[in-house]
Amino acid sequence: MQTKVWLFVTQPIFKFGRRLTLEWSPMGLKSSKMERYPNLITEILKEATSRLGLKNIDETRRYFKTQTYGYGGDFSITLALRDSKLNKIPIEKAAGDIKAKLEGSKFIKRTEVVNGYVNCWYDYTKLAEYLMGGINDDYGKSDYGKDERVMVEHTSVNPNKAIHIGHVRNSSIGDSLSRLLRFAGYDLTVTNYIDDTGAQVADNVVGVKFLNLPRKKPGVKIDHYLGDEVYVKVNKLYEDDPALMEKRGLVLKAIEEGNNEIALLAKDMVMDVLKAQLQTLSRLGVFFDLVNYESHILMYKFWATAFAHMKSVGAIKLETDGKKKGCWVFKTAPPDEDKILVRSDGTVVYAGKDIAYAMWKHGLLDSDFRYKKMELQKNGEELWTTTLDKDSTKTHPTFNHVKHSISVIDIRQSYEQAVVKEAIEKLGNGKGIDYVHYEYGVVALSPNTANKLGVKETEEGGAFQMSGRKGVYINADNFLDKLYETLLDETKSKNQNLGETECKEVAESLAVSTLRYEMIRTDPKKIIVFDLDEALKLESKGAVYIDYTLSRMAGILRNSNSKIKTSMAIPELSDFEKRVLLDILRFPEIIESAAKALDLTVVSGFLSEFASDFNAFYTNTTVLKAEESIRDFRLWLVTAARTTLINAMSTLGLVPLERM
């Protein structure tokens, strides 16, 4: 049986449409660093770099391929292809020279030359001995991002409605990226940007202020009521009474001016909805460091400062004729059309305010917000907020002045975000600013799932597409409740020995993990069609399957009644043991590779494959009934696998369950 390994394969890395060399990533130019013990792959690469006379680990990676490519051994070295051309010698001679240089390697037991490739097999005894005693609760953590400050902005749902499952994809991606980058050693600030001056907020105010709709509805969560009823009703009335749109304009103007009755009403309604949204996000295990508001960008004159700066450096100009007459436009690079930032009536477009916000993120403004504590979150961390009030505090964390900023925003905003990126890099004047638009596709429901949730299919019978303005969407709270109910029934039916409270805890945890995992397991740019039944099948190798695997590991250890040894003679390993050992081995490398490429699918794919490899080990070997020397090793292997799986799950925000 062949052992499939991903040890030295670096994912193709792209930076905003340009293919780059492997030293680059969406987080900027960076050389490899030594992580906390034991990132054994780094040690293997370091030794190979020295033996083969290569420049550095990054260069060495280019010539190491795994069995994913169909070569022999645990991995293959392709360097002979280069050396043959460079030294003008037969490829077999070049490969033979490489083979000779690897003789005596600490980690390579056997090599062979086949068609110019040097196929290598690990010394599994050495791998196991190296890993023993080095796997603990911090296993996989890295100092790769040490001393580099990053801001991740995500969720940023308009504060007029509840979070729906499309928003959950944004939150899941943003929170998982944040967890990954922290695990990789970056100094992180996570923000939730609230557009409290937009038309959606104004629509709710129109409903309450001018249509005399109730401010709240007893027994209904405020974000559900305002979004599902008030917002939808007002937008339908706009179609019947276009004059009502004038009220929206009046409200928008009052909000922008501030310090008036309408502005105060809007502020209170925004805060009510935001707190309700944060309750939903907390249930999903999503937390922030800072909440900031679009209105504060205006009130603090950040846009005015940004506008003046762009004028002074010639980044924008006033159009004096044509269809853009009277507008201030940003001069984009060819062949794109110049982007309007300020309309002829003086109002600022979305991209303009985002430029000012990005300038604050990267410390390009001379001023800062005032801050105060908002609430203590369930994860034990303080949530801060920007404020206009005098009760701000002078003692607070440093939130901005970051080198890298990552904005998780719908792929449909790609053009606007490209403008922001170009502007901020131009205004940064060579300061090495790295502005990343992390784009993602929309979420739809399969017809089967839509029917189960009580909504109609599309006329074509295809996926259920959502629209907040029309009130055609599924709130995350309701969706989680449906997942929870389904999983609670399953948990009770399969676990007669679990009490009611424990069954509920298991079902809730699985509901959260299932929804989050389905949102991040595929390419973020692709549209997700979520199917409830498929997500819950073990065959899909989703969150339920991963937690099921963890519970197997924990069950073995509970039943062992043994102290786990970390020093022993290593027996001859089966292919199934080798797979699990190599999965453990490569976890620190998986974290670094995923952080370099900002690619969550590297971790989600690892989780699925790791669970599959362990279940194959469980099915084809015995642990508790094995002879003592083999039993001791396998118990250590299960313990190390459990720690690795928990750390990998936590990196993506999945809830580890050891009983289910």
SS (H, E, C) 561-586: CCCCCCCCCCCCCCHHHHHHHHHHHH
Residue extent(s) of CATH 1.10.730.10 domains in the chain: 537-660
What's residue 38's pLDDT?
A: 63
| pLDDT for position 4 | 47
| Per-residue pLDDT band at 223 (split at 50, 70, 90) | very high
- Residue 38 CA to residue 140 CA, distance in Å, equals 8
**Per-residue pLDDT at 468 exceeds 60:** no
Q: What is the CATH number of domain 1-31+39-133?
A: 3.30.1360.70
Kindly state the percentage of the chain with pLDDT values over 90.
72
Instruction: Tell me the residue type at 439.
Output: E
CATH topology of domain 537-660: Isoleucyl-tRNA Synthetase; Domain 1 (1.10.730)
pLDDT at 444: 82
pLDDT (0 to 100) of residue 27: 37
**DSSP-based three-state secondary structure for 627:** coil
**CATH 3.30.1360.70 domain extents, the chain:** 1-31+39-133
| pTM score, whole prediction | 0.90
Residue 455: pLDDT band with limits 50, 70, 90: low
Write out pLDDT tens, residues 391-426. Answer: 789 899 999 999 999 999 999 999 999 999 999 988
Query: Would the pLDDT of 467 be above 90?
Result: no
Region 487-516: mean pLDDT is 93
Question: 349 versus 31: which is more confidently predicted?
Answer: 349
pLDDT at 160: 96
At 7, the pLDDT band (50, 70, 90 cuts) reads very low
The pLDDT score that the predictor gives to residue 336 is 60
Element (H, E) at 289: none
Euclidean distance between CA atoms 546 and 536, whole angstroms: 11
Question: Please, are residues 437 and 412 in contact by the beta-carbon 8 Å criterion?
Answer: no
Instruction: Give the contacts of 538 (CB within 8 A, at least 6 positions apart).
Output: 544, 545, 548
Task: Quickly state the pLDDT bin for 335 (edges 50, 70, 90).
Answer: low
Q: Select, from the ranges 494-503, 538-547, 610-619, the one with the highest average predicted confidence (pLDDT).
A: 610-619
Looking at the predicted structure, is the pLDDT value of residue 193 above 80?
A: yes
Q: What is the mean pLDDT of residues 366-375?
A: 95
Pairwise pLDDT comparison (391 vs 228), residue with the higher score: 228
- What pLDDT score was predicted for residue 471? 53
Residue 506 to residue 491: CA distance in whole angstroms: 7
pLDDT at residue 17, rounded to an integer: 28
Q: What is the pLDDT of residue 528?
A: 87
pLDDT score of 536: 76
Between 24 and 262, the more confident residue is 262
pLDDT attached to residue 517: 96
% of residues, the chain, pLDDT over 70: 90
* Residue with token string 């959502």: 466
User: How high is the pLDDT of residue 469?
Assistant: 53
DSSP 413-440: GHHHHHHHHHHHHHHHTTS--EEEEEEE
Q: What is the mean pLDDT of residues 183-205?
A: 96
Residue 152 to residue 174: CA distance in whole angstroms: 7
Mean pLDDT of 300-311: 92
Position of tokens 């409200």? Answer: 251
* Residue position matching structure tokens 């949102």: 519
Mean pLDDT on 147-168: 95
| CB proximity list for 79: less than 8 A, separation 6 or greater | 52, 54, 63, 94, 98, 118
State the average pLDDT for the chain.
88
pLDDT for res 1: 41
pLDDT bracket for residue 224 (50, 70, 90): very high
Of the listed ranges 257-271, 434-448, 644-658, the one predicted with least confidence:
434-448
Confidence at 111, pLDDT banded by 50, 70, 90: very high
Query: Would you call the peptide bond into 571 cis, given omega within 30 degrees of 0 as the criterion?
Result: no
Confidence band of 257 (pLDDT split at 50, 70, 90): confident
- Of the pLDDT bands very low, low, confident and very high (cuts 50, 70, 90), residue 30 is very low
Please give the pLDDT value at position 472: 60
